[in-house]
Structure 1
Amino acid sequence: MLKVSENFTVGLLAPDKKSRLSSCQGHGHKLCVRFNSARTSKISDIQYCVDLVKKYDYENYLGTLLLPKNAQRAAFALRAFNVELAQVQDAVSENKIGLMRMQFWRDTVAKIIQGFPPQAPVATELAGACNYYKLSRRWLERMLESRAAQIDKDFFKSMKTIEEYAEHVNSSLYYLLLECLGIKNVHADHAASHLGKAQGIVTAIRATPFHASKRRVYLPIDILSKYRVSHEDIIRGNSSQHVKDAVFDIASIAHQHLEKARSLKSSLPPESNLVFLNASICDHYLKSLQKVDFNVFDGKLQHKNALLAYHMYANKLRKKF
């Protein structure tokens, strides 16, 4: 049975005084923070993050369990941070409230950088991960700012803008996970960039029925316009050939990014494939979408992949993704 490691690594729960730096040096890219070891020894903080990811991001929860034990706790902290940011837009009824919540997370990250993280489970665990692995500040801030910028928008202007958003949010998270495994490699970063874009595009397609129910459309306008598909067509759940053709184009770009990431496999350092195991999520959805002739509103697409954990574990054993 898979079990989450309670420690980032041996010795982290009692860092020496020299490691407790009160601030980042200059404008360096690495986070150096104070770390309240008494708080991090509380299993409730760890479990809170694990439960949050399990409830709202189950597929990536499964992938995180397949990471090396000494990186799981940090990975769950990062995943929990991402869940918190992702929930803001859907959890509020007014953009103003959403922007206020994003400001809270800006302040939280700033306090982590200054060495005084708020006494809250995700903040405490994130601070611990940043402290031990010296995670790059710019990736956390890029995730946060990109999510915040999207709060008052209910569309993506073009395929390029959705790719940029996916790079800033999803790829940044992959870069941080690679750092947790001590991987610094240009090919791994390249794979992370493409996989992040694939995941972001697939997420936009998968969530189309949900967003349509809230009168939001996150499929890129330029491709919808190319096939003369209006926002109202998507909101009404239109499954005409024009809509299917537009979805096919968007899915094809996601598939290209996925295949590009996989094509780099032979150049990747050992263990980096573990960070990319959730490529199976994108792969399964794109194949399922093809089976229903790219009808994004087909109910079959809402079924969970019961074999996902098996596929990811098999890929782990085969050292592939």
Structure 2
Amino acid sequence: MREKRRHRAPQQETLVNSIRRVLAALAIGATCAGGTALASDAWPAKPIRIVVPTAAGGTVDIVTRLVAKGLAEDLRQPVIVDNKPSASGLIASREVAHAQPDGYTLLAVANTFVSAPAFVPQAGYDPIKDFEPVTQLCQIPMVLVVNPTVPERSVQALIERAKAHPGEVSFASSGTGSTGYIAAELFSRRAGIKMLSVSYKGNSQALVDVVGGQVMTMFDQVSTSWKYVRGKQLHALAVTTPTRSPLLPEVPTVAESGLPGYEDVTFNAILAPAGTPAPIVSRLHAAIAKVLARPALREQLSAQGIEVKSSETPQAFGEYLRSAASKYRGIAQAQ
């Protein structure tokens, strides 16, 4: 019996060592998983920064600041809005794409975030691969406005002028691929005209120059243009939604003005760098949804022509982004 035990001992020792290695590996894995869970549970432990790729005063800035205020109250940490305007928002988007994916640096976006990479070959980021979708915040109609000195007072009259004088009708936007640029590009294709594009670092300055008469026209969000229209500093020719805007009920849609089927609505949203832990993304989504559900906030935005629209899940918003990216690539390839 002793001889048999001496021969069996090395096999038993090998088996025991193998079991120990497996148990050690499982313990390490559990520790790592636990560490990730603890890090997510501890979030947020310091201020959160939301980078806005547009100038202060625009719709993205307005909506983001309202959401940031509500988030700070709910998460009990300061939420800082950091404006970093540039043409088409490329600089801010690149910065956040390379930020630590820890939930402390976020990006507020509009359609331009998805459309710019389709039109700018070296945008420096991929809107799908480099970011984690969190949620949509709202959607906003756009309006085609002209400086009051422009004699044309209808969409058809403007189209006729552009056809008679190709390149004479100028339009302002915050850069190639921006929301205003895309709306104008879609409009030009439907109408069969060629307009002159004038780019700015931000939508606010573009709007100022249309009001000042340096540029003839632009597609701008109703939320930032309607006060100028009411003050007769701009004349509204048409809105881009299928139905008229409650803020400008007397202004027809582009579709009913002779371009049936035309529609272009902008959205605002929040994203995080790719690799941000799913528990943090989920908590962000839930916290923002809670903020957007507040009646006072919804009424405040509705009064400016902004419709609150929260994504059901981060994954649902991701699908929306992929669909939008495909749409804009198609538009860019057709140029």
> TM-score, length-normalised on structure 1?
0.32
**Which protein, 1 or 2, shows the higher relative CO under an 8 Å CA cutoff with sep ≥ 6?**
2
Q: Per residue, is there more helix in 1 or in 2?
A: 1
More strand per residue: 1 or 2?
A: 2
- Give the TM-score normalised by structure 2: 0.31
